């Protein structure tokens, strides 16, 4: 039933083992949603795994005329698309800047209101020299009067 080469069978076994390990890890990390998302990922990638197994089998066993034309056409499409894009960018350099946004990459930082704490100020009375002299004189006079009264 399965007439695959040793390399294709090895690829399938390694993919299955790593998929089970990844499924367990995703389940432990993300719970039920990790399990569901990895199963969805597996369902999407199964056709590609089967296609890659067929590709490995054709490379090792040979006799894949149709598949070789599929690979050739896919490669040519990729090469021609890249060449057409590079020629278009070389002829008109403004095309290469079109997909790039001129907006700044860093987001603007929103204004944040900063609460200020109430401050206390201390004021000192300014003493003029005449007041200080009068106060000293009054103190000296009071001391002299007190000494004389004794």
Identify the three-state secondary structure at position 46. Answer: helix
The verdict on 57 and 75 lying in the same domain is no
Written as six digits, the tokens of 117 are: 């704490």
**Alpha carbon distance 143, 136 (integer Å):** 10
Q: Cβ neighbours of residue 89 under 8 Å, at least 6 residues apart?
A: 95, 96
The verdict on 71 and 39 lying in the same domain is no
Question: What is the tally of structural domains in the chain?
Answer: 2
Contact 5, 61 (CB under 8 A): yes
The verdict on 8 and 34 lying in the same domain is yes
Neighbour tally for 23: CB within 10 Å: 16
The verdict on 58 and 77 lying in the same domain is no
Containing domain of residue 40, as a range? 1-62
Contact 95, 88 (CB under 8 A): yes
The verdict on 1 and 51 lying in the same domain is yes
pLDDT digits (tens, 9 = 90+) for 14-24: 999 999 999 89
- Domain assignment present for residue 125? The answer is no
Written as six digits, the tokens of 90 are: 């070389």
- Domain assignment present for residue 129? The answer is no
- Note the pLDDT of residue 13: 92
pLDDT digits (tens, 9 = 90+) for 49-76: 888 888 888 888 887 888 888 888 888 9
- Note the pLDDT of residue 14: 92
- Domain assignment present for residue 38? The answer is yes
């Amino acid at each position: 039933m399965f007439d695959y080469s040793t390399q294709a069978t090895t690829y399938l076994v390694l993919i299955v083992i790593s998929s089970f390990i990844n499924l367990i890890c995703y389940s432990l990390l993300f719970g039920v949603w990790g399990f569901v998302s990895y199963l969805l990922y597996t369902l999407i990638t199964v056709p590609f795994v089967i296609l890659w197994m067929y590709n490995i089998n054709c490379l090792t066993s040979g006799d894949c005329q149709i598949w070789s034309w599929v690979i050739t056409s896919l490669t040519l499409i990729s090469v021609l698309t890249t060449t057409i894009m590079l020629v278009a960018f070389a002829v008109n350099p403004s095309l290469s800047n079109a997909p790039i946004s001129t907006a700044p990459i860093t987001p603007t930082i929103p204004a944040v209101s900063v609460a200020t704490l109430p401050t206390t100020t201390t004021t000192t009375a300014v003493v003029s020299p005449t007041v200080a002299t009068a106060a000293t004189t009054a103190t000296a006079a009071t001391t002299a009067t007190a000494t004389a009264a004794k």
